[in-house]
Structure 1
Amino acid sequence: MKDLKSDIYSQQFLERLKSLETKRKVIVSVLSNYRNLSKGGVEVLVKNLELSDGKSLGKVNPLILSFLIDNLINSQDHLEAKVLEFERYGIPKAVVYELIFWMQPSKFPFPNGKIENYRDFLKSKREELRRLGLDSFLELYAYESAERENFITEIKSKILLIKPENIEDNLWLTDFLKYLSPVERSELRSKVHPYVWKVLSNPQPSVPVVIDGSNVLMQKELRGPEKIDDLLSKIATLKETYFPFFIVFDANAKYKFNTRYFNYKRTYLHSPADELILSLCKQYNAVVCSKDRFREYEVAVENIWYKLIKS
């Protein structure tokens, strides 16, 4: 660790501590009302936990979870026994350690790193707390995670700049989504284009799609000043991830339409557009998105436009 004197009063540390204090109020509010725990309450709890494994709480019936939390708070059993009860329902021990951290940060540390023996871990963290002269494990965690928070802030700012047309240049950011907490992911998802989020958060194999640009820009089903943005938002709702996307316009499209996607690197202007659309589908094993059914061509190609209308 760096010298505490140079960091303890840094803006980065203080902001991180403040955010943790705010988060703790929300978590404690849910846990203190455990007897009336609802599905909505569990969702709030999961979203605010730092560990991604916290989502395991959402897979347990709220009534059972209420019993487990009651046992965690009120039982005189050893912590190991309480942890075993949670593990019986598929909740990792690290999640239990995080819960008790939020409930009593003066007594329990945040469970960062792999914990083989909790007593040894606790002893080590207490020594660290004394060495640094901090008042609670909440301050210690703020100190330990402030640098990570700065890194996360930088990653989020980069993701917020991504648009559908430059997503290919930013695919490297996919690997960094795993470092975001559920709350951070939720907040970020609400601020980026749905198609961008779909591609970044679904790294599994995807299917290329060729968009019939001139055709879709004339369809009343699409809204807004940039209809292709709306189309891609709808494509993002489908189960499959359709990426990358190509756009083919008729050669004279620039005289008829106004769209920033004319500058997209995978946009083509060609007449007749149908020929190039079907050629790209064959070349990249892609699907097409067009209201045109291409019946005059003897080619079998999947058209996802009609999936969008149904979805």
Structure 2
Amino acid sequence: MKTRHVGPFEVSEIGLGCMSLSHAYGPPPPREQAERVLKGALDRGYSFFDTAAVYGLGHNERLIGEVLGDRRDEFVLASKCGMTDGETRDLNGAPERLKKTCDESLARLGVDVIDLYYLHRWDKRVPIEDSVGALADLVQAGKIRAIGLSEVSAATLRRAHAVHPIAALQTEYSPWTRNPEVAVLDACRELGVAFVAFSPVGRGFLAGGLRDLGKLQPGDFRAGMPRFIGEAFEANLKLLDAFTDLAGEAGCTPAQLCLAWLLQKDPIIVPIPGTTRPKHMSENAGASDVVLTTQVVERLEALVNARTVSGSRYAPAMQATVDTEELVLSEA
């Protein structure tokens, strides 16, 4: 796989988001299947693995540490803090909490240092300068190598970057979630910050794997997301056939179409699709070889965009935890 840069690191231009191996999209896969995804990803050329303390409340970090520990020198390891207090979910950006979480993550991962450590969400009760200052202390202590931020605005990125260089900003970006185009992508380019795109295939929707909400497993958090509810979901389904046809014309799968679109957007973008299936992991990696014509890109963007997609990306309670810009549509 071709490579890109995230801070001081050279990584595969498509990374692996590991969250779904522990929670969020229903029951996690069997251990043996998770191992095949993780080890197979290394063999397939992935060298950027993304986890977090909150994923399965430590389960995901332990999984990566146990499965990939003997191949640690083959990949860049990213994790996150600020959304957990040990065995509970808790948004808290207090410096002492972030440092405690880092020590716990190091132990679960079985490593002495984490390459890229994100503030998972900005706790607005704590100045961003204080939270990033704590992460800067962790860099100084040799426990992390670089600092990242997740789901923050361009203004917050600039405030944080003034305290300590930010290596990467992570937020949702795909053909059906275009909020980064408001301001934060420009800020990343200006400051030399890599942009890590999570949910790059629309939480699986644009890959075509979910056409019946009745098939959602217990614990799948998409069931509470506006785009996957009622009339909005039915309206979004009408986009899928044309999107799938366009992928066929481009000589790739729908998931690869999403990823190739992101890769061609800007060399600072590194998408990190997640999956529980080895087949899909390999399919996603294949997007690195897909080249889209200008015509295909134009048709994709006309088909799937903020005006054609129904429903917001988060329900109000979840939206309140993020700091990203909202895309405001002008009148036609």
Point out the structure with the larger strand share.
2
Q: TM-score, normalization: structure 2? A: 0.23
With normalisation by structure 1, the TM-score equals 0.24
Higher helix content, 1 or 2? 1
